[in-house]
Chain A
Protein backbone atom coordinates (compact mmCIF):
# COMPACT_ATOMS: atom_id res chain seq x y z
CA UNK A 1 0.00 0.00 0.00
CA UNK A 2 1.36 3.36 -1.03
CA UNK A 3 2.35 5.70 1.78
CA UNK A 4 0.92 9.20 2.09
CA UNK A 5 4.15 10.71 0.72
CA UNK A 6 4.07 8.44 -2.33
CA UNK A 7 0.47 9.48 -3.00
CA UNK A 8 1.44 13.13 -2.62
CA UNK A 9 4.41 12.53 -4.92
CA UNK A 10 1.99 11.43 -7.63
CA UNK A 11 -0.29 14.46 -7.21
CA UNK A 12 -1.99 15.56 -10.42
CA UNK A 13 -0.14 18.62 -11.74
CA UNK A 14 -3.48 20.46 -12.07
CA UNK A 15 -3.94 20.34 -8.30
CA UNK A 16 -0.53 21.98 -7.95
CA UNK A 17 -1.60 24.66 -10.45
CA UNK A 18 -4.75 25.36 -8.42
CA UNK A 19 -2.78 25.62 -5.18
CA UNK A 20 -0.27 28.00 -6.76
CA UNK A 21 -3.14 30.09 -8.17
CA UNK A 22 -4.78 30.24 -4.73
CA UNK A 23 -1.43 31.11 -3.14
CA UNK A 24 -1.29 34.14 -5.43
CA UNK A 25 -4.98 35.12 -5.53
CA UNK A 26 -5.79 34.96 -1.80
CA UNK A 27 -3.03 37.39 -0.68
CA UNK A 28 -4.07 39.81 -3.45
CA UNK A 29 -7.77 39.70 -2.47
CA UNK A 30 -7.02 39.99 1.25
CA UNK A 31 -4.45 42.78 0.66
CA UNK A 32 -1.90 40.77 2.61
CA UNK A 33 1.41 42.58 3.04
CA UNK A 34 4.71 41.43 4.44
CA UNK A 35 7.51 43.68 5.67
CA UNK A 36 10.23 44.15 3.07
CA UNK A 37 13.52 44.76 4.86
CA UNK A 38 16.33 45.94 2.57
CA UNK A 39 19.74 44.76 3.67
CA UNK A 40 23.16 45.28 2.11
CA UNK A 41 21.93 44.20 -1.30
CA UNK A 42 22.70 45.31 -4.87
CA UNK A 43 19.42 47.25 -4.85
CA UNK A 44 20.66 49.33 -1.91
CA UNK A 45 23.96 49.94 -3.74
CA UNK A 46 21.97 51.21 -6.70
CA UNK A 47 19.84 53.46 -4.50
CA UNK A 48 22.82 54.88 -2.64
CA UNK A 49 24.72 55.57 -5.87
CA UNK A 50 21.78 57.53 -7.30
CA UNK A 51 21.11 59.22 -3.98
CA UNK A 52 24.69 60.49 -3.81
CA UNK A 53 24.44 62.17 -7.21
CA UNK A 54 24.08 65.96 -7.07
CA UNK A 55 21.10 67.64 -8.70
CA UNK A 56 21.60 68.65 -12.32
CA UNK A 57 23.39 65.42 -13.25
CA UNK A 58 22.41 63.65 -16.46
CA UNK A 59 21.23 60.05 -16.47
CA UNK A 60 20.60 57.96 -19.57
CA UNK A 61 17.71 55.63 -18.79
CA UNK A 62 17.25 52.83 -21.29
CA UNK A 63 13.95 50.94 -21.30
CA UNK A 64 15.08 47.61 -22.74
CA UNK A 65 11.94 45.55 -22.23
CA UNK A 66 8.44 44.96 -23.55
CA UNK A 67 4.98 44.32 -22.06
CA UNK A 68 5.70 40.63 -21.38
CA UNK A 69 8.03 41.59 -18.51
CA UNK A 70 6.08 44.60 -17.28
CA UNK A 71 5.10 43.07 -13.89
CA UNK A 72 8.77 43.01 -12.92
CA UNK A 73 10.30 45.95 -14.74
CA UNK A 74 7.59 48.62 -14.82
CA UNK A 75 7.54 49.04 -10.99
CA UNK A 76 11.34 49.40 -11.13
CA UNK A 77 11.01 52.06 -13.80
CA UNK A 78 8.46 54.00 -11.73
CA UNK A 79 10.62 53.82 -8.59
CA UNK A 80 13.84 54.82 -10.35
CA UNK A 81 12.23 57.68 -12.30
CA UNK A 82 10.59 58.93 -9.08
CA UNK A 83 13.95 58.89 -7.30
CA UNK A 84 15.76 60.64 -10.16
CA UNK A 85 13.10 63.32 -10.50
CA UNK A 86 12.97 63.89 -6.75
CA UNK A 87 16.72 64.49 -6.88
CA UNK A 88 16.33 66.96 -9.80
CA UNK A 89 18.44 64.75 -12.01
CA UNK A 90 17.88 65.13 -15.76
CA UNK A 91 16.58 61.98 -17.44
CA UNK A 92 17.24 61.17 -21.06
CA UNK A 93 15.14 58.13 -21.93
CA UNK A 94 15.66 55.76 -24.82
CA UNK A 95 15.06 52.11 -25.68
CA UNK A 96 16.91 49.20 -27.23
CA UNK A 97 13.59 47.34 -27.44
CA UNK A 98 10.84 48.72 -29.72
CA UNK A 99 8.03 48.70 -27.19
CA UNK A 100 10.28 49.98 -24.40
CA UNK A 101 10.00 53.51 -25.79
CA UNK A 102 6.22 53.58 -25.21
CA UNK A 103 6.48 51.99 -21.78
CA UNK A 104 9.18 54.49 -20.80
CA UNK A 105 7.05 57.39 -22.03
CA UNK A 106 4.14 56.15 -19.90
CA UNK A 107 6.30 56.02 -16.77
CA UNK A 108 8.20 59.28 -17.26
CA UNK A 109 5.15 61.33 -18.23
CA UNK A 110 3.01 60.06 -15.35
CA UNK A 111 5.73 60.54 -12.70
CA UNK A 112 6.68 63.93 -14.18
CA UNK A 113 3.05 65.07 -14.02
CA UNK A 114 2.79 64.06 -10.37
CA UNK A 115 6.06 65.84 -9.45
CA UNK A 116 5.61 68.90 -11.65
CA UNK A 117 8.54 68.15 -13.97
CA UNK A 118 8.64 69.54 -17.49
CA UNK A 119 9.26 67.53 -20.64
CA UNK A 120 12.34 68.69 -22.61
CA UNK A 121 13.64 70.56 -19.56
CA UNK A 122 13.78 67.82 -16.94
CA UNK A 123 13.21 64.74 -19.04
CA UNK A 124 12.88 63.62 -22.63
CA UNK A 125 12.38 60.40 -24.54
CA UNK A 126 14.59 59.79 -27.56
CA UNK A 127 12.67 56.67 -28.48
CA UNK A 128 13.76 53.33 -29.91
CA UNK A 129 16.76 52.67 -32.09
CA UNK A 130 17.77 49.33 -33.54
CA UNK A 131 21.34 48.01 -33.42
CA UNK A 132 21.91 47.03 -29.77
CA UNK A 133 25.58 47.09 -28.79
CA UNK A 134 26.74 48.48 -32.13
CA UNK A 135 24.39 51.43 -31.75
CA UNK A 136 25.77 52.05 -28.23
CA UNK A 137 29.27 52.33 -29.73
CA UNK A 138 27.91 55.05 -32.02
CA UNK A 139 26.39 56.83 -29.00
CA UNK A 140 29.95 57.02 -27.69
CA UNK A 141 30.88 59.39 -30.50
CA UNK A 142 27.64 61.26 -31.22
CA UNK A 143 24.22 61.04 -29.63
CA UNK A 144 22.55 63.39 -32.11
CA UNK A 145 23.77 61.33 -35.07
CA UNK A 146 21.88 58.32 -33.70
CA UNK A 147 18.88 60.29 -32.49
CA UNK A 148 18.42 63.30 -34.81
CA UNK A 149 14.92 63.65 -33.32
CA UNK A 150 13.20 62.48 -30.16
CA UNK A 151 10.33 59.98 -30.03
CA UNK A 152 7.84 62.68 -31.08
CA UNK A 153 10.05 63.81 -34.00
CA UNK A 154 11.20 67.00 -32.29
CA UNK A 155 14.70 67.81 -33.63
CA UNK A 156 17.61 67.31 -31.21
CA UNK A 157 18.64 71.01 -31.50
CA UNK A 158 15.22 72.17 -30.30
CA UNK A 159 15.33 70.21 -27.01
CA UNK A 160 16.77 72.57 -24.35
CA UNK A 161 18.02 69.90 -21.92
CA UNK A 162 20.13 68.28 -24.66
CA UNK A 163 22.15 71.46 -25.31
CA UNK A 164 25.17 70.23 -23.34
CA UNK A 165 24.85 66.56 -24.21
CA UNK A 166 27.05 65.35 -27.02
CA UNK A 167 27.90 61.70 -26.43
CA UNK A 168 27.91 59.03 -23.71
CA UNK A 169 30.58 60.86 -21.72
CA UNK A 170 27.98 63.60 -21.05
CA UNK A 171 26.17 61.21 -18.73
CA UNK A 172 26.97 60.58 -15.08
CA UNK A 173 25.18 57.24 -15.08
CA UNK A 174 23.55 54.84 -17.51
CA UNK A 175 20.65 52.77 -16.18
CA UNK A 176 19.33 49.88 -18.24
CA UNK A 177 16.06 48.17 -17.35
CA UNK A 178 16.70 44.97 -19.17
CA UNK A 179 14.58 41.96 -20.08
CA UNK A 180 17.23 40.24 -22.18
CA UNK A 181 19.39 40.95 -25.18
CA UNK A 182 20.11 43.75 -26.01
CA UNK A 183 20.21 45.08 -22.49
CA UNK A 184 22.54 45.19 -19.51
CA UNK A 185 25.39 43.12 -21.09
CA UNK A 186 25.56 45.48 -24.08
CA UNK A 187 25.58 48.58 -21.86
CA UNK A 188 28.26 47.13 -19.54
CA UNK A 189 30.37 46.03 -22.50
CA UNK A 190 30.13 49.20 -24.55
CA UNK A 191 29.14 52.12 -22.30
CA UNK A 192 30.84 50.85 -19.14
CA UNK A 193 34.01 49.07 -20.17
CA UNK A 194 34.64 50.88 -23.46
CA UNK A 195 33.63 54.46 -22.65
CA UNK A 196 33.99 54.41 -18.86
CA UNK A 197 30.45 55.54 -18.01
CA UNK A 198 29.10 54.02 -14.74
CA UNK A 199 26.35 51.51 -15.45
CA UNK A 200 23.54 50.35 -13.18
CA UNK A 201 20.33 48.60 -13.93
CA UNK A 202 17.38 46.41 -13.23
CA UNK A 203 16.53 43.11 -14.81
CA UNK A 204 14.10 40.22 -14.74
CA UNK A 205 14.74 37.66 -12.02
CA UNK A 206 15.59 35.03 -14.63
CA UNK A 207 18.59 37.00 -15.83
CA UNK A 208 19.71 38.38 -12.45
CA UNK A 209 22.18 35.60 -11.49
CA UNK A 210 24.34 36.15 -14.57
CA UNK A 211 24.78 39.84 -13.72
CA UNK A 212 26.08 39.27 -10.19
CA UNK A 213 29.55 38.83 -11.68
CA UNK A 214 29.36 42.41 -13.01
CA UNK A 215 28.61 43.60 -9.47
CA UNK A 216 31.49 41.71 -7.92
CA UNK A 217 33.96 43.17 -10.44
CA UNK A 218 32.57 46.69 -10.08
CA UNK A 219 31.39 46.77 -13.69
CA UNK A 220 27.93 47.70 -12.38
CA UNK A 221 27.24 50.15 -9.57
CA UNK A 222 24.09 48.33 -8.44
CA UNK A 223 21.29 46.14 -9.65
CA UNK A 224 17.60 45.49 -9.05
CA UNK A 225 16.82 41.81 -9.56
CA UNK A 226 13.22 40.94 -10.37
CA UNK A 227 10.18 41.85 -8.29
CA UNK A 228 12.22 41.77 -5.07
CA UNK A 229 14.63 44.36 -6.49
CA UNK A 230 11.68 46.54 -7.53
CA UNK A 231 10.12 46.17 -4.06
CA UNK A 232 13.44 47.12 -2.44
CA UNK A 233 13.69 50.28 -4.51
CA UNK A 234 10.06 51.21 -3.81
CA UNK A 235 10.78 50.78 -0.08
CA UNK A 236 13.99 52.83 -0.23
CA UNK A 237 12.38 55.63 -2.26
CA UNK A 238 9.37 55.61 0.07
CA UNK A 239 6.62 54.71 -2.40
CA UNK A 240 3.66 53.63 -0.25
CA UNK A 241 1.79 50.52 -1.42
CA UNK A 242 3.66 50.25 -4.70
CA UNK A 243 2.84 47.36 -7.06
CA UNK A 244 6.11 45.56 -6.34
CA UNK A 245 5.76 45.73 -2.54
CA UNK A 246 2.14 44.52 -2.88
CA UNK A 247 3.37 41.71 -5.11
CA UNK A 248 5.84 40.40 -2.54
CA UNK A 249 3.13 38.84 -0.32
CA UNK A 250 1.69 36.56 -3.05
CA UNK A 251 5.28 35.95 -4.16
CA UNK A 252 6.28 34.75 -0.68
CA UNK A 253 3.18 32.58 -0.21
CA UNK A 254 3.65 30.99 -3.65
CA UNK A 255 7.31 30.29 -2.82
CA UNK A 256 6.24 28.57 0.40
CA UNK A 257 3.83 26.33 -1.54
CA UNK A 258 6.54 25.48 -4.08
CA UNK A 259 9.05 24.73 -1.31
CA UNK A 260 6.47 22.47 0.31
CA UNK A 261 6.02 20.53 -2.90
CA UNK A 262 9.79 20.26 -3.41
CA UNK A 263 10.08 18.74 0.08
CA UNK A 264 7.13 16.37 -0.56
CA UNK A 265 8.58 15.35 -3.92
CA UNK A 266 11.97 14.60 -2.42
CA UNK A 267 10.55 12.67 0.53
CA UNK A 268 8.39 10.64 -1.87
CA UNK A 269 11.44 9.97 -4.05
CA UNK A 270 13.58 8.86 -1.12
CA UNK A 271 10.74 6.74 0.27
CA UNK A 272 10.34 4.96 -3.08
CA UNK A 273 14.10 4.56 -3.41
CA UNK A 274 14.25 2.98 0.05
CA UNK A 275 11.71 0.41 -1.06
CA UNK A 276 13.82 -0.29 -4.15
CA UNK A 277 11.38 1.33 -6.59
CA UNK A 278 13.90 3.72 -8.12
CA UNK A 279 17.62 3.55 -8.66
Chain B
Protein backbone atom coordinates (compact mmCIF):
# COMPACT_ATOMS: atom_id res chain seq x y z
CA UNK B 1 0.00 0.00 0.00
CA UNK B 2 1.48 3.32 -1.01
CA UNK B 3 0.92 6.69 0.70
CA UNK B 4 -1.59 7.86 -1.90
CA UNK B 5 -3.87 4.87 -1.34
CA UNK B 6 -3.49 5.24 2.42
CA UNK B 7 -4.57 8.88 2.11
CA UNK B 8 -7.57 7.91 -0.02
CA UNK B 9 -8.61 5.25 2.50
CA UNK B 10 -8.27 7.62 5.45
CA UNK B 11 -10.34 10.23 3.60
CA UNK B 12 -12.99 7.67 2.69
CA UNK B 13 -13.26 6.17 6.18
CA UNK B 14 -13.51 9.58 7.86
CA UNK B 15 -16.12 10.64 5.28
CA UNK B 16 -18.20 7.54 6.02
CA UNK B 17 -17.79 8.10 9.78
CA UNK B 18 -19.09 11.66 9.42
CA UNK B 19 -22.03 10.67 7.22
CA UNK B 20 -23.00 7.99 9.75
CA UNK B 21 -24.43 10.85 11.82
CA UNK B 22 -27.30 11.01 9.34
CA UNK B 23 -28.54 7.73 10.81
CA UNK B 24 -27.96 8.83 14.40
CA UNK B 25 -25.21 10.00 16.74
CA UNK B 26 -22.62 7.24 17.20
CA UNK B 27 -19.00 6.62 18.31
CA UNK B 28 -17.67 6.62 14.73
CA UNK B 29 -19.05 10.10 14.17
CA UNK B 30 -17.68 11.28 17.52
CA UNK B 31 -14.25 9.89 16.63
CA UNK B 32 -14.20 11.67 13.27
CA UNK B 33 -15.48 14.89 14.82
CA UNK B 34 -12.82 14.91 17.54
CA UNK B 35 -10.14 13.97 15.02
CA UNK B 36 -11.15 16.92 12.83
CA UNK B 37 -11.22 19.41 15.71
CA UNK B 38 -7.88 18.25 17.08
CA UNK B 39 -6.13 18.16 13.72
CA UNK B 40 -7.56 21.54 12.74
CA UNK B 41 -6.35 23.16 15.95
CA UNK B 42 -2.86 21.72 15.54
CA UNK B 43 -2.72 22.54 11.85
CA UNK B 44 -3.78 26.18 12.30
CA UNK B 45 -1.34 26.81 15.15
CA UNK B 46 1.60 25.65 13.05
CA UNK B 47 0.26 27.31 9.90
CA UNK B 48 -0.18 30.65 11.67
CA UNK B 49 3.33 30.52 13.14
CA UNK B 50 4.94 29.57 9.83
CA UNK B 51 2.88 31.68 7.42
CA UNK B 52 1.78 34.68 9.46
CA UNK B 53 4.02 35.28 12.47
CA UNK B 54 7.36 34.31 10.95
CA UNK B 55 7.19 36.17 7.59
CA UNK B 56 5.12 39.14 8.73
CA UNK B 57 6.67 39.79 12.13
CA UNK B 58 9.72 37.75 13.11
CA UNK B 59 11.56 38.11 9.80
CA UNK B 60 10.74 41.84 9.75
CA UNK B 61 12.20 42.25 13.24
CA UNK B 62 15.29 40.15 12.47
CA UNK B 63 15.95 40.62 8.70
CA UNK B 64 18.00 38.05 6.83
CA UNK B 65 20.85 40.49 6.31
CA UNK B 66 21.25 40.86 10.07
CA UNK B 67 20.29 43.65 12.47
CA UNK B 68 17.31 44.34 14.63
CA UNK B 69 14.29 46.51 13.72
CA UNK B 70 13.09 47.58 17.16
CA UNK B 71 9.84 49.06 15.81
CA UNK B 72 8.51 45.52 15.29
CA UNK B 73 8.64 44.99 19.04
CA UNK B 74 5.51 47.15 19.31
CA UNK B 75 3.14 44.80 17.43
CA UNK B 76 4.69 41.96 19.42
CA UNK B 77 3.72 43.68 22.66
CA UNK B 78 0.20 44.28 21.34
CA UNK B 79 -0.03 40.60 20.43
CA UNK B 80 0.91 39.69 24.00
CA UNK B 81 -1.77 42.11 25.22
CA UNK B 82 -4.34 39.99 23.37
CA UNK B 83 -3.28 36.97 25.41
CA UNK B 84 -3.76 39.00 28.62
CA UNK B 85 -7.46 38.09 28.44
CA UNK B 86 -6.67 34.75 30.03
CA UNK B 87 -5.26 36.45 33.17
CA UNK B 88 -8.15 38.29 34.88
CA UNK B 89 -5.90 40.79 36.70
CA UNK B 90 -4.46 42.25 33.50
CA UNK B 91 -7.31 41.36 31.12
CA UNK B 92 -7.91 45.08 30.50
CA UNK B 93 -4.69 45.28 28.47
CA UNK B 94 -6.33 43.25 25.69
CA UNK B 95 -8.68 46.18 25.10
CA UNK B 96 -5.76 48.27 23.88
CA UNK B 97 -4.93 45.70 21.23
CA UNK B 98 -8.58 45.23 20.30
CA UNK B 99 -9.06 49.00 20.16
CA UNK B 100 -6.20 49.28 17.69
CA UNK B 101 -7.59 46.50 15.47
CA UNK B 102 -11.13 47.88 15.54
CA UNK B 103 -9.95 51.46 14.98
CA UNK B 104 -7.70 50.60 12.05
CA UNK B 105 -10.32 48.27 10.56
CA UNK B 106 -13.14 50.79 10.89
CA UNK B 107 -11.02 53.65 9.55
CA UNK B 108 -9.93 51.72 6.48
CA UNK B 109 -13.25 50.04 5.80
CA UNK B 110 -15.97 52.50 6.80
CA UNK B 111 -15.87 54.80 3.79
CA UNK B 112 -15.06 52.01 1.33
CA UNK B 113 -17.83 49.80 2.70
CA UNK B 114 -20.38 52.61 2.56
CA UNK B 115 -19.31 53.54 -0.96
CA UNK B 116 -19.43 49.95 -2.27
CA UNK B 117 -22.43 48.56 -0.46
CA UNK B 118 -24.66 51.60 -0.02
CA UNK B 119 -23.90 54.49 -2.39
CA UNK B 120 -23.16 52.35 -5.43
CA UNK B 121 -26.31 50.31 -4.79
CA UNK B 122 -28.47 53.42 -4.45
CA UNK B 123 -26.94 54.75 -7.66
CA UNK B 124 -27.71 51.41 -9.31
CA UNK B 125 -31.37 51.85 -8.42
CA UNK B 126 -31.70 55.25 -10.10
CA UNK B 127 -32.77 53.96 -13.49
CA UNK B 128 -34.65 55.28 -16.46
CA UNK B 129 -38.17 53.89 -16.65
CA UNK B 130 -38.72 55.06 -20.21
CA UNK B 131 -35.60 54.33 -22.27
CA UNK B 132 -34.39 51.03 -23.75
CA UNK B 133 -36.38 48.08 -24.99
CA UNK B 134 -39.62 46.76 -23.48
CA UNK B 135 -37.77 44.15 -21.43
CA UNK B 136 -35.30 46.75 -20.09
CA UNK B 137 -38.14 49.03 -19.04
CA UNK B 138 -39.96 46.13 -17.38
CA UNK B 139 -36.78 45.04 -15.54
CA UNK B 140 -36.10 48.56 -14.35
CA UNK B 141 -39.68 48.97 -13.09
CA UNK B 142 -39.46 45.64 -11.20
CA UNK B 143 -36.15 46.71 -9.66
CA UNK B 144 -37.32 50.18 -8.58
CA UNK B 145 -40.69 48.95 -7.29
CA UNK B 146 -38.97 46.05 -5.50
CA UNK B 147 -36.45 48.27 -3.74
CA UNK B 148 -38.98 50.93 -2.73
CA UNK B 149 -41.62 48.47 -1.52
CA UNK B 150 -38.96 46.42 0.29
CA UNK B 151 -37.86 49.54 2.14
CA UNK B 152 -41.50 50.39 2.92
CA UNK B 153 -41.90 46.97 4.59
CA UNK B 154 -39.06 47.82 6.99
CA UNK B 155 -40.53 51.23 7.87
CA UNK B 156 -42.17 50.54 11.21
CA UNK B 157 -43.06 54.10 12.33
CA UNK B 158 -46.32 53.97 10.40
CA UNK B 159 -48.99 51.28 10.57
CA UNK B 160 -49.00 48.98 7.54
CA UNK B 161 -52.54 49.89 6.44
CA UNK B 162 -54.09 51.34 3.28
CA UNK B 163 -51.76 52.14 0.38
CA UNK B 164 -48.80 51.90 2.71
CA UNK B 165 -49.85 48.38 3.75
CA UNK B 166 -50.30 47.33 0.12
CA UNK B 167 -46.81 48.60 -0.72
CA UNK B 168 -45.45 46.69 2.29
CA UNK B 169 -47.21 43.54 1.03
CA UNK B 170 -45.52 43.95 -2.36
CA UNK B 171 -42.26 44.42 -0.46
CA UNK B 172 -42.61 41.21 1.56
CA UNK B 173 -43.56 39.31 -1.62
CA UNK B 174 -40.39 40.55 -3.33
CA UNK B 175 -38.39 39.60 -0.24
CA UNK B 176 -39.91 36.09 -0.23
CA UNK B 177 -38.93 35.65 -3.88
CA UNK B 178 -35.38 36.76 -3.00
CA UNK B 179 -35.27 34.34 -0.05
CA UNK B 180 -36.51 31.56 -2.34
CA UNK B 181 -33.68 32.26 -4.80
CA UNK B 182 -31.20 32.22 -1.91
CA UNK B 183 -32.64 28.94 -0.66
CA UNK B 184 -32.30 27.42 -4.14
CA UNK B 185 -28.65 28.47 -4.30
CA UNK B 186 -28.06 27.09 -0.80
CA UNK B 187 -29.50 23.72 -1.83
CA UNK B 188 -27.24 23.73 -4.89
CA UNK B 189 -24.20 24.45 -2.68
CA UNK B 190 -24.96 21.66 -0.23
CA UNK B 191 -25.71 19.14 -2.96
CA UNK B 192 -22.48 20.17 -4.72
CA UNK B 193 -20.52 19.25 -1.60
CA UNK B 194 -22.33 15.89 -1.45
CA UNK B 195 -21.55 15.32 -5.14
CA UNK B 196 -17.88 16.07 -4.44
CA UNK B 197 -17.76 13.49 -1.64
CA UNK B 198 -19.69 10.89 -3.68
CA UNK B 199 -17.37 11.40 -6.67
CA UNK B 200 -14.42 10.87 -4.32
CA UNK B 201 -15.91 7.70 -2.83
CA UNK B 202 -17.07 6.21 -6.13
CA UNK B 203 -14.29 7.30 -8.47
CA UNK B 204 -11.22 7.47 -6.21
CA UNK B 205 -11.84 5.12 -3.29
CA UNK B 206 -13.89 2.22 -4.71
CA UNK B 207 -11.40 1.42 -7.52
CA UNK B 208 -8.67 0.92 -4.90
CA UNK B 209 -10.50 -2.05 -3.32
CA UNK B 210 -9.90 -4.54 -6.18
CA UNK B 211 -6.28 -3.33 -6.35
CA UNK B 212 -5.77 -4.07 -2.68
CA UNK B 213 -7.41 -7.46 -3.04
CA UNK B 214 -5.09 -8.27 -5.94
CA UNK B 215 -7.94 -8.42 -8.43
CA UNK B 216 -6.29 -6.05 -10.90
CA UNK B 217 -7.85 -2.72 -11.92
Residues of A within 8 A of B (CB): 14, 17, 20-21, 24-25, 28-29, 68-72, 98, 128-130, 133-134, 137, 185, 188-190, 192-194, 204-206, 208-209, 213, 216-219, 225-228, 243, 246-247, 250-251, 254-255, 258
Contact = CB atoms under 8 A, between A and B. Distances in A.
A163 B194 CA distance: 44
A219 B193 contact: no
A70 B189 CA distance: 11
Q: Which of B52, B113, B116 has the most CB of A within 10 A?
A: B116
15 contacts: A24-B194, A25-B198, A28-B195, A72-B193, A72-B196, A98-B51, A134-B105, A185-B117, A189-B115, A193-B116, A206-B185, A217-B120, A251-B192, A251-B195, A255-B188
Interface in B131-189: 143, 178, 181-182, 185-189
A70 B196 CA distance: 8
Contacts of A128: 51
B104 interface: yes
Contacts of A24: 191, 194-195, 198
Interface of B: 22-23, 47, 51-52, 56, 104-105, 108-109, 112-113, 115-117, 120-121, 123-124, 143, 178, 181-182, 185-189, 191-199, 202-203
Main secondary structure of the interface of A (DSSP, over half): helix
A255 B186 CA distance: 11
Contacts of A208: 185
A75 B192 CA distance: 12
Contacts of B143: 216
Nearest to A70: B196
